[in-house]
Structure 1
Amino acid sequence: MKTWFRSLCVWPILWALWAAPAAAQPVPTVAAASDLKFAIEELASQFEKETGQRLRLIFGSSGNFYSQILQGAPFHLFMSADEDFVFKLADAGKTLDRGRLYAYGRIGIMVPKGSPLKADGELKDLAAALKDGRLRKFAIAAPDHAPYGMRAREALKHAGLWEAIEPKLVFGENISQAAQFATSGSTEGGIIAYSLALAPQVARLGDFALIPESWHQPLAQRMVLMKDAPQAARQFYDYLSTPAAQAVMEKYGFVMPKQP
């Protein structure tokens, strides 16, 4: 398994959180959509250097985090890849408010080195590969709970490829696992997050091309604090809206929302 993917095992960390002594001062826990892995790791490091405040980062599927928060998971800041999950948690009374839109994400096709597929953002070569037999397996995130998987399905439907490609799909639990499948050589490619494709650890493994954003619903990504969020979590929440933090997000391909 790729080293950049190993930190995505969520449940052992959750168990450690629940098992921690109640009297201990909690380290703020950030549950972040896995497309944010490289960007938020960089930002958390900068935040710690500037403030001395340490953060615990957990990456995974936004849909799974939503379910875990409903069940009482001890998270303090939730950074979702789909704002609908934040709104549902707010309606359920689990959050401080309705949060803040922090970025828009993008998707594209990634093919590993040596793949018979081309990194073609309009998916014309993917369509040809379905007909000529070059495509055996193709990776996307699970669309039932991963926002990037939902958008991948929409893009494939827009291209008229969904019914033909569905039997060949390999589903990642989240977009980072889908990216691992798409770059490992176990598939001929996949649809992954632009933010992951821009990370050097992933970029060196293959070729990438953006899919037109008009082919799917926007990936409106929203963050929200839980009601019991400690001060350090609130500080990081505010820090993510600073120009310095937004510059890091833009470096990883995220589009910043327009200021009101």
Structure 2
Amino acid sequence: MRIFTMILTLFLITGCMNDTAEDKTIYVAAASDLYHALTEMGEEFAAETSINIEFTFGSTGLLTQQIKEGAPFDLFAAAHEMYIEELLNSDSVLADSKEYYAIGRIVLMGSDEEGSLKEKLLSSNIRTITIANPEHAPYGKAAKEALQSLGIWEEVEHKIVYAENIRQAYQYVESGNADVGIVALALVTGTQYPYEVIDEEYHQPILQALGIPSQTEKEEMSKQFVQFIVGPRGQAILKEYGFDIP
């Protein structure tokens, strides 16, 4: 009987601890370009507040659709403001929760050849170019716009390998499954890979915004993390990873 009582007590204590941990956790959907920056922010924020962050990184378009369908996220950091606007129009994020937090930049990753950006991309040494799918990934859309602005989209289209999101495009180059990629500056900053920043005049600005999904039950904790992201420390971390500040 005593052993049973001890086991029951331990079970109840463990259950309470798990409930407490769950109560102090927010679930954040985020664009893949934010993988390094937000992971670092999440660790610092948790250390300061004891609020844990669980991230789901993916393409902005697909995450937007999941949130429309009621996915249980407490915060959404999109790679482009248009997706937050889309969610506002469908009442899927709180009306007053939109915040701009960064401007993204794209780079050509993986080529150390001499010559202009156009010459590198047209080189016979580059057989495959990976970009995120422009249908649902803002960085992929910017990559396609850049190639069109350079006047070489038709010439290189047969080389294009589409990735599900920008981090997967980075991984295709990293693993050797693509010769080069047009990826987020934030993903190559601090790595050993050669890259060339693509002039922002070649594509529409990647103005990034976030919002708090309407179904969250943790609005206040989400707002705390938002203030960290748009505050001095969060903005400093974003700058370290190559983001411009809006």
Q: Indicate whether the TM-score tops 0.5.
A: yes
Deviation digits for residues 135-155 of structure 1, max 9, x if unmatched?
221110011100000000000
> Which of 107, 113, 118 in structure 2 is aligned with 1:118?
113
Aligned to 2:101: 102
> Which of 205, 220, 233 in structure 2 is aligned with 1:244?
233
More helix as a share of residues: 2
Aligned to 2:9: none
TM-score normalized by structure 1?
0.82
Is the CA contact (8 Å cut-off) linking 1:137 and 1:187 kept in structure 2?
A: yes
What secondary structure is seen at the aligned counterpart in 2 of 1:28?
strand
Distance 2:25 2:114 in 1: 41
Is the CA contact (8 Å cut-off) linking 1:102 and 1:256 kept in structure 2?
A: yes
> Which of 213, 233, 238 in structure 1 is aligned with 2:200?
213
**Cα distance change of structure 1 residues 99 and 80 upon mapping to structure 2, 3 Å threshold:** same
In the TM superposition, residue 156 of structure 1 has moved relative to its aligned partner by 0.4
What secondary structure is seen at the aligned counterpart in 1 of 2:25?
coil
> Which of 189, 196, 203 in structure 1 is aligned with 2:187?
196
Is the CA contact (8 Å cut-off) linking 2:61 and 2:136 kept in structure 1?
A: yes
1:32 corresponds to which letter in structure 2?
Answer: A
Is the CA contact (8 Å cut-off) linking 2:24 and 2:50 kept in structure 1?
A: no
In the TM superposition, residue 125 of structure 1 has moved relative to its aligned partner by 1.9
1:167 corresponds to which letter in structure 2?
Answer: H
2:66 corresponds to which letter in structure 1?
Answer: Q
| Unaligned stretches of 5+ residues in structure 1 | 1-20
What secondary structure is seen at the aligned counterpart in 1 of 2:76?
strand
1:87 corresponds to which letter in structure 2?
Answer: E
What secondary structure is seen at the aligned counterpart in 1 of 2:131?
strand
Aligned to 1:53: 51
1:162 corresponds to which letter in structure 2?
Answer: W
In the TM superposition, residue 66 of structure 1 has moved relative to its aligned partner by 0.6
Is the CA contact (8 Å cut-off) linking 2:24 and 2:52 kept in structure 1?
A: no
In the TM superposition, residue 78 of structure 1 has moved relative to its aligned partner by 0.4
Distance 2:243 2:50 in 1: 27
In the TM superposition, residue 165 of structure 1 has moved relative to its aligned partner by 1.1
Distance 2:116 2:186 in 1: 16
Number of aligned residues: 224
In the TM superposition, residue 167 of structure 1 has moved relative to its aligned partner by 1.4
1:184 aligned onto 2:171: no
**Larger CA deviation: 207-216 vs 228-237:** 228-237
In the TM superposition, residue 242 of structure 1 has moved relative to its aligned partner by 1.2
Distance 1:148 1:89 in 2: 19
Is the CA contact (8 Å cut-off) linking 1:121 and 1:210 kept in structure 2?
A: no
| Unaligned stretches of 5+ residues in structure 2 | 1-18
Counting aligned pairs with the same residue, the percent is: 37
Deviation digits for residues 83-135 of structure 1, max 9, x if unmatched?
10000100101111250111000001001xxx6x62867332212x1xxx322
> Which of 65, 68, 75 in structure 2 is aligned with 1:67?
65
Aligned to 1:80: 78
**Cα distance change of structure 1 residues 142 and 42 upon mapping to structure 2, 3 Å threshold:** same
Distance 2:77 2:116 in 1: 27
RMSD: 1.9
Distance 2:146 2:186 in 1: 18
